[in-house]
Amino acid sequence: MELNVKGVPVHFRDEGSGKTVLFLHGWGVDHSSFGEAFERTRGHYRVCALDLPGFGRSEEPPAAWGVGDYADFVLAFLAEREIREAVLVGHSFGGRIAIKLAALQGALQVPKLVLVDSAGVPPVRTLSQRLRTFFYKTARRLLSIPPLRERTSGFIERWRIRRASTDYRNASPRMRECLVRVVNEDLTPLMPLISCPTLLIWGENDTATPVSDARVMERLIPDAGLVVFKNAGHYSFLDQSYAFGRVLDSFLGIVRAEEEGRP
């Protein structure tokens, strides 16, 4: 289905009945990444999943958005669907949005939160990374001087792309601006404000958001518990889909027919 939200056409699924679970996907993918979990859950809950602006079949945002802008958009989407309470399941970038919504509960009530290989904890930068950042910022200031600006137009961006992440290289100019804003936001101050039960699910081999990030979240979020999947990376919910489904069922209170009556 499609819906115009805040001037942005958005593609989404909204199926099932009862209390709501909202899936928020990671950067560079769309809501179909949660397809198996969506199908598994919709027989027990009303389940929503959307392509966030700039991903999948949804149009790009009208400006360079940060996490707060995406959170506001999700709130507007839920208001259009007349949803005022939802369990949030966020992967990676979607986890950033979920953290923001759960910490600042107001228009949306979040009874439970699931963060899957979530972003939000600033990475510990190595000396070489700090030096590259210093060089980049210094060069950008110097090359912005009027006599040099015309001759060096585009140099800084080309230099940045060569050293950037795959997500940055694959993004459009607008989404690159969004990515820079998003990854530079430290969400750890919001984590102690999350009052709902929180399940952290991680892949032990995640290199994008390592398990050390999960340990920080477990410490900062008052009612948080961590499950680490072996032989799983940043997409732990796909690498260990069966285990993920069972853990999610337990957290959501879903009892499957084949499990009824077991001792």
- Spatial separation of the C-alpha atoms in residues 218 and 174, rounded to whole Å: 33
What average pLDDT does range 234-239 have in this prediction?
98
- Quick one: which of 194, 3, 213 has its CA closest to 92? 213
CATH of domain 2-122+180-259: 3.40.50.1820
**Average pLDDT for 218-225:** 98
Residue with tokens 């404000």, as numbered in its chain = 193
Note the pLDDT of residue 147.
60
Query: Contact, 179 vs 170, CB < 8 A?
Result: no
Q: Please say if the pLDDT value at position 70 is more than 70.
A: yes
pLDDT band at 210 (very low <50, low <70, confident <90, very high): very high
Q: What residue ranges do the domains of the chain occupy?
A: 2-122+180-259, 127-172
pTM: 0.86
pLDDT in tens, 181-207: 999 999 999 999 999 999 999 999 999
State residue 105's pLDDT score. Answer: 79
The mean per-residue pLDDT over the stretch 77-86 comes to 97
Is residue 167 very low, low, confident or very high in pLDDT (cuts 50, 70, 90)? confident
Residue ranges in 119-258 assigned as alpha helix (H): 127-143, 146-149, 155-163, 166-170, 173-183, 211-220, 236-239, 241-252
Percent of the chain scored above 90 by pLDDT? 77
| Average pLDDT of span 49-74 | 98
226/104: higher pLDDT:
226
